[in-house]
């Protein structure tokens, strides 16, 4: 069964949206690009103590945050300046 959710909000003063579907992101292209780069960094910080200190918010994420909905949601909330609306199978806040 497919799992999907959409987050709408702001980033750098613009209205943006991103949809996560089974590990893949679609939506605002610059925001999707940034999320994919941040996800790569999250994987690196688990193997590099210096990187973990430089990116503490990413160190708190799983090594592959886009692989599961809870990690993806936490990463999206980290990148967005504000969240205005969510829809779909949004993970619980403490997931």
d(CA 11, CA 27): 13
**Above pLDDT 70, what percent of the chain?**
97
The tokens 């679609």 sit on which residue?
26
| pTM exceeds 0.85 for this model | yes
Give the 3-state secondary structure of the chain.
CCCEEEEEEEECCEEEEEEEECCEEEECHHHHHHHHHHHHHHHHHCCCHHHHHHCHHHHCCCCCHHHCHHHHHHHHHHHCCEEEEEEECCCCCCC
Return the pLDDT at 43. 87
Owner of token pair 């939506």: 27
Domain ranges for the chain, please list them. 4-88
Nearest-angstrom CA–CA distance, 58 and 28:
21
Q: Strand order in 82-88's β-sheet? A: 24-27, 14-21, 4-11, 82-88
Look at residue 94 in the predicted model and tell me its pLDDT.
63
Instruction: Tell me the mean pLDDT per 10 residues along the chain, length 95.
Output: 94 97 97 96 86 84 93 96 96 71
């Amino acid at each position: 069964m497919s799992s999907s959710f959409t987050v709408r909000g702001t980033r750098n003063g613009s209205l943006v949206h991103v949809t996560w579907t089974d590990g893949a992101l679609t939506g605002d292209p610059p925001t999707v690009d940034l999320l994919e780069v941040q996800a790569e960094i999250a994987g690196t910080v688990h193997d590099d103590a210096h990187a973990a200190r430089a990116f503490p918010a990413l160190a708190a994420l799983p090594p592959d945050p886009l692989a599961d909905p809870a990690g993806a949601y936490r990463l999206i909330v980290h990148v967005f300046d504000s969240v205005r609306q969510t829809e779909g199978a949004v993970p619980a806040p403490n997931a």
